[in-house]
Chain A
Amino acid sequence: MPIVVTLDVMLARRKMRGKELAERIGMTEQNLSLLRSGKVKGIRFETLSRICNVLECQPADLLTYEPEEPPDG
């Protein structure tokens, strides 16, 4: 998946722990962990908005696009 979740970077910048973020946005730690590791199919605008609100950032600070390298040959 070329979309990479950079939530960990923002959490480090804001010196906030995942547990606190999960509590403040009303999400389980398990789901937040899945999001941080990019093991989800998608993120709802509502969730994105809550994270941006708590971390005072933009959606682009949480997600980046890294194109996949074409296979050799």
Chain B
Amino acid sequence: MVEALTAERRRERLSRFAAAMRWVSLALAVAGPVILIGVWLRFEAFAPSVMPGLRLSELLTGDRIGGYAISMLPAAIGMWGFFHLARLFGRFAEGDLFDRDNAVRLRRFAVSLLAVIPAKIVAHALLSVWLTRAAEPGARQLQISVSSTDVVLFAIGLLMVALATVLREAAAIADENRQFV
């Protein structure tokens, strides 16, 4: 009886935590594009830290819109991943822990983490070309950037792929257990 109560309390706690994490994931999904708007409105202030060494001339509205569109390439992948993560936490909050669909959503989140890395590299290179395209020949730039953050992101992505595989197996076992009375 005490064990059953403890298990129920544990599930309730997990449900509350998952519900909170669902909102955090949704907030992170929406935050990316919104923060990028702010960054591109004041890109001159952010440029030295996000694109060091880039010699910027005065940015026109078209430059900012184009830059925002390019920056949205990795951000859109991130959004897609966080929406799947939010849905996953939503299902956890509803009490559906071991479900094949949950494993699919966790795998999609992992794929989004892995896909963001090449997208970031491509976007950075495209941005450097876009922002220096009007400069005189010799001053145009093509920057290729790989940071330690990308390596960490890659490791987390691989870990998530492994966890998704384990969750898929757990879902299969849970499905089999449901066929026992």
Contact = CB atoms under 8 A, between A and B. Distances in A.
Nearest to B179: A41
A64 to B, nearest CB: 18
B181 interface: yes
Q: Which interface class (under 10, 10 to 19, 20 to 34, 35 or more) fits B?
A: under 10
Contacts of A32: 181
Provide the main secondary structure of the chain A interface. Answer: mixed
Interface stretch (A10-18, A42-50, A52-60, A65-73): A42-50
Interface in B153-174: none
A48 to B, nearest CB: 10
A35 B180 CA distance: 9
A40 interface: yes
B29 to A, nearest CB: 39
Nearest to A34: B181
A42 to B, nearest CB: 4
B176 interface: yes
Interface of B: 176, 179-181
The 4 closest A-B pairs by CB, nearest first: A41-B179, A42-B180, A31-B181, A35-B181
Given A31-B181, A42-B179, A42-B181, 15 more contacts: A27-B181, A32-B181, A34-B181, A35-B181, A40-B180, A40-B181, A41-B176, A41-B179, A41-B180, A42-B180, A43-B180, A43-B181, A44-B180, A44-B181, A47-B181
